[in-house]
Amino acid sequence: MNYPVLDKGYVKLIGTMQSASDDEQCAKAFDDMVVEAARVSYGGGLKSPEQNKKLLAYLIEHEHGTPFEMVTFKFELKLPIYVMRELLRHRWSSFNEISGRYTEEIATDYYVPESFRAQGTKNKQGSTNEDLSLCNIIHTDDMVSYMNVVTEYKAALNMQRNSYNNLIRTGVAKELARGVLGTAFYTKCVWSVNARALINFLILRCDEHAQWEMRQYAFAVLEIFKTLMPNTYNILQKHLI
Ligand SMILES: Cc1cc2nc3c(=O)[nH]c(=O)nc-3n(C[C@H](O)[C@H](O)[C@H](O)COP(=O)(O)OP(=O)(O)OC[C@H]3O[C@@H](n4cnc5c(N)ncnc54)[C@H](O)[C@@H]3O)c2cc1C
């Protein structure tokens, strides 16, 4: 399962506790594993599908999270560094990121937003739907000057990439040369996360308060989650977005 995200990123399922599979029986097993774990305390197992769904709903409503820790997923992501920084805040998971000391790959691609959203006014952390891509005017205290938002953005990032390549050509170590790259450059990581922590991630990052770019990754993960744990997904829906 591979979902393109933003202009050059993606989310790919690369493993589960069982092998990664699109097979429906295998996918259903992840919901059942949670139910089995929850019933182990009194020697019970799976019951009818309806009873199993009820138990899943009960576990979620009453925040009995540990049975969801029995199921783990592994994703590969290509994402801008600033989105990666947000993802890293989800401490209940494990990461391996490509090394900027070892490879020059981090200087390859940078993210160009489709829309340059204006700064939010109600929520100081957020943005509005107004697109400034075609905006050409900057007002400062004593003057008005002209530039195009997209051209300015790309010029800055191209300059960073050129500087990086020049430093590398001069023989500067990759671990130092990467210092000139901004956080719009793409990085890659492998992310291992159990279903409990993933549900927490989805609730926080599908929400409209999360940054739009982060949400696109959360929606891609949600699409994969929907296939893997359809019953849990159905119960969760009302907590999402
Ligand atoms: C809209 C939005 C805006 C944000 N803005 C900012 C910001 O401006 N600055 C900023 O720094 N972060 C910001 N964050 C990140 C946020 O504070 C969390 O770090 C991030 O969402 C991870 O959530 P989490 O701690 O629940 O997840 P995890 O780290 O995966 O933790 C999962 C759960 O485990 C428990 N847990 C984990 N570690 C501890 C611990 N040390 N002690 C006790 N319990 C623990 C908690 O119950 C936690 O909910 C923002 C997040 C969102 C969604």
Lowest mean pLDDT among 29-43, 148-162, 181-195: 29-43
How high is the pLDDT of residue 20?
Answer: 47
* Alpha carbon of 79 to ligand 1 centroid (Å): 20
- Ligand 1 neighbours, Cβ below 6 Å, are 89-92, 197, 200, 204-205, 209-210
* Mean pLDDT, range 157-165, rounded to an integer: 97
How high is the pLDDT of residue 222?
Answer: 97
Looking from the CA of residue 211, the nearest atom of ligand 1 is: 1
Query: Comparing 42 with 76, which gets the higher pLDDT?
Result: 76
Query: If DSSP codes are grouped into helix, strand and coil, which group holds residue 66?
Result: helix
The structure tokens listed for 182 are 């901004």
* Alpha carbon of 90 to ligand 1 centroid (Å): 6
What does the alpha-carbon distance between residue 182 and residue 9 come to, in Å, rounded to a whole number? Answer: 16
Query: Comparing 141 with 183, which gets the higher pLDDT?
Result: 183
- Which amino acid, residue 214? M
Query: Is residue 77 a contact partner of residue 191, using CB atoms and an 8 Å limit?
Result: yes
How high is the pLDDT of residue 43?
Answer: 66
Looking from the CA of residue 91, the nearest atom of ligand 1 is: 29
Distances (CA, A) of 50 to 24, 56, 58, 68: 18, 10, 12, 18
- pLDDT surpasses 80 at 123: no
Q: Whose CA is nearest to atom 39 of ligand 1?
A: 91
* Mean pLDDT, range 208-222, rounded to an integer: 97
Query: Comparing 44 with 227, which gets the higher pLDDT?
Result: 227
Q: Which is it for the CA torsion 168, 171, 176, 180, positive or negative?
A: negative
* Alpha carbon of 63 to ligand 1 centroid (Å): 17
How high is the pLDDT of residue 21?
Answer: 52
What does the alpha-carbon distance between residue 112 and residue 61 come to, in Å, rounded to a whole number? Answer: 40
pLDDT digits (tens, 9 = 90+) for 2-51: 999 999 999 999 998 764 455 555 555 899 889 988 988 656 666 788 88
Q: Whose CA is nearest to atom 6 of ligand 1?
A: 86
Q: Which is it for the CA torsion 64, 33, 13, 223, positive or negative?
A: negative
* Mean pLDDT, range 185-195, rounded to an integer: 98
Catalytically annotated residues: 205
How high is the pLDDT of residue 26?
Answer: 57
User: Probe ligand 1: pick from 123, 204, 208, 211, max atoms within 8 Å of CB?
Assistant: 204
How does the average pLDDT of the chain come out, rounded?
90
User: Probe ligand 1: pick from 92, 192, 209, max atoms within 8 Å of CB?
Assistant: 92
- pLDDT surpasses 50 at 157: yes
* Alpha carbon of 92 to ligand 1 centroid (Å): 9
- pLDDT surpasses 70 at 160: yes
